[in-house]
Amino acid sequence: MRISRTPLSLTIAATVLAPALVAPAFAERIELGPRPAWLISQMDDSPLKDRLAACGDVEPVRTDFSIAHRGAPLMFPEHTEEAYRAGLQMGAGIMECDVAFTKDLELVCRHAQNDLHTTTNILATDLAEQCTTPFAPASGDMSAQAECRTSDVTLAEFKSLKGKMDAADASGTTVAEYMDGTASWRTDLYTASGTVMSHKESIALFKEHGVKFTPELKNPAVEMPFNGFTMNDYAQKMLDEYKEAGVDAADLFPQSFNLDVVAYWLENEPDYAVNSVFLTEPADGFDPQNAETWAEDFDALAAMNLKYLAPSINMLVVAEDGKYVASEYAKAAKAAGLELITWTLERSGPLATGGGWYFQSATAATDNDGDYFEVLDALAQDAGVVGVFSDWPATVTYYASCMNMGG
């Protein structure tokens, strides 16, 4: 994964992204908005803060180091056209579509096959009757229940839905209450126009704007085979849609948490899936400093011709003397010849209380929002990652532009 530097004509704009600013006519203009500068203002005094602050007039560049995680879901409904256009406008060089399948075996962009009840308005439509688990209100000690899968609907029915912020209020006694669960540090400002997308539509949009692709094949919520559709069929269909669109292998980074899927790609499509990515997260008892607790065999992964390993942030950094430093896990993976990608910056919300799950290995170093740049710097400079997923790609784009991370 090489970092591209494509200088654009305009400098960083101190404007908040809004739907009017993500129209196709502006797609090639990088707009980072006020967030990077605000995060810098929150940092403790340090040489890193000084350097980042001095980059306010640096022209932002599109970079493969900046990967749009589901688009830009800090503000826009994930996996919607609006979120993707925001990610494009914030300089992400690689875009993600999480790939699930519908009842008629068409591929769509959703984080999980069974998340329509939290990421779309399906419960407020007639399609709610088709959900695997229809909505049941909270009652007494029982939380509200619902489960709606992409495989419950056809592609045409899926396209009739509107994307919303991924959230639900388990105490809701009505559909409206249940759907109104957005975290206070996100926003529902743009949920009225959440345009859901098929996998093919996402490919066309990303290709139009000259960025790269990192689709994630999601583990199904249904038993496979599904209507004769096997896991291998699913894995192959995803790649085939890129081939049909004329996407070059060098621009494609297919990813999965399922190592069998990654092995299938590398064995059956060694030339086209050459940049396959194996995603991983900490298992119970995982300690990034203790090799005996690691599930991954780095040498075995390298032997199967895997190039990219993508652990979560909490696997790659630890706190040492109040600072973020590379973990032993990160060092060992790099020593085995694996390139590292990580996820997901700016998914934790405010960091004043330690950053939660993504920062659990370095809570002692985490106490303010400026630490987003501190951990990003440790990931880039100490752990040596080549790409960072973020819910707000502008932050990573600003960092890469400031650090002159070209190639």
- CATH no. for residue 205? 3.20.20.190
Task: Tell me the average pLDDT across 284-303.
Answer: 98
DSSP codes joined into one string, 211-244? -EE--EEPPPSS-SSBTTB-HHHHHHHHHHHHHH
Burial class of 219 by CB neighbour count within 10 A (0 to 12, 13 to 18, 19+): middle
Write out pLDDT tens, residues 220-233.
999 999 999 999 99
Question: 134 and 267 share a domain?
Answer: no
Confidence of residue 406 (pLDDT cuts 50, 70, 90): low
Domain C-terminal end among 186, 220, 247: 186
Write out pLDDT tens, residues 294-323.
999 999 999 999 999 999 999 999 999 999
Question: 179 and 202 share a domain?
Answer: no
Q: Is residue 290 part of a domain?
A: yes
Total of domains in the chain: 2
Question: 220 and 92 share a domain?
Answer: yes
Cite the beta strand spans of 333-386 per DSSP E: 339-345
Domain C-terminal end among 136, 156, 186: 186
Question: 305 and 237 share a domain?
Answer: yes
Question: 130 and 65 share a domain?
Answer: no
Q: Is residue 370 part of a domain?
A: yes
| CA dihedral sign, ordered 97, 219, 271, 316 | positive
Q: Is residue 378 part of a domain?
A: yes
Whole-model pTM?
0.93
Domain C-terminal end among 128, 163, 186: 186
Q: Is residue 382 part of a domain?
A: yes
Domain limits at 343?
Answer: 6-102+196-402
DSSP state of 273: S
d(CA 166, CA 389): 17
Task: Tell me the average pLDDT across 123-148.
Answer: 98
Nearest to 159 by CA among 123, 194, 124: 194
- The least confident of 5-9, 290-294, 311-315, 386-390 is 5-9
Question: Taking the CB of residue 136, how many other CB atoms lie within 10 A of it?
Answer: 12
pLDDT of 7 above 50: no
Query: What are the residues whose beta carbons fall under 8 Å from the beta carbon of 396, sequence distance 6 or more?
Result: 63, 65, 66, 67, 92, 345, 376, 388, 390
Q: Is residue 371 part of a domain?
A: yes
Query: What are the residues whose beta carbons fall under 8 Å from the beta carbon of 172, sequence distance 6 or more?
Result: 137, 138, 144, 178, 179, 180, 181
Query: What are the residues whose beta carbons fall under 8 Å from the beta carbon of 234, sequence distance 6 or more?
Result: 101, 217, 220, 224
* Dihedral angle, C-alpha 353, 355, 360, 361, nearest 10 °: -100
Write out pLDDT tens, residues 78-94.
999 999 999 999 999 99
Write out pLDDT tens, residues 154-179.
999 999 999 999 999 999 999 999 99
Question: 262 and 391 share a domain?
Answer: yes
Residue 299, amino acid: D
Question: 307 and 222 share a domain?
Answer: yes
d(CA 117, CA 125): 11
The answer to whether the CB of 100 falls within 8 A of the CB of 113 is: yes
Question: 243 and 330 share a domain?
Answer: yes
Catalogue the long-range contacts made by 47-50 (C-beta closer than 8 Å, 24 or more residues apart): 48/373, 48/374, 48/377, 49/370, 49/373
Question: 283 and 389 share a domain?
Answer: yes
Per-residue exposure over 165-175, b if at least 16 CB sit within 10 Å of its own CB, e if not: bbebbeebeeb
Per-residue exposure over 193-211, b if at least 16 CB sit within 10 Å of its own CB, e if not: ebbbbbbbbbbebbbebeb
Longest dimension (CA), the chain: 59
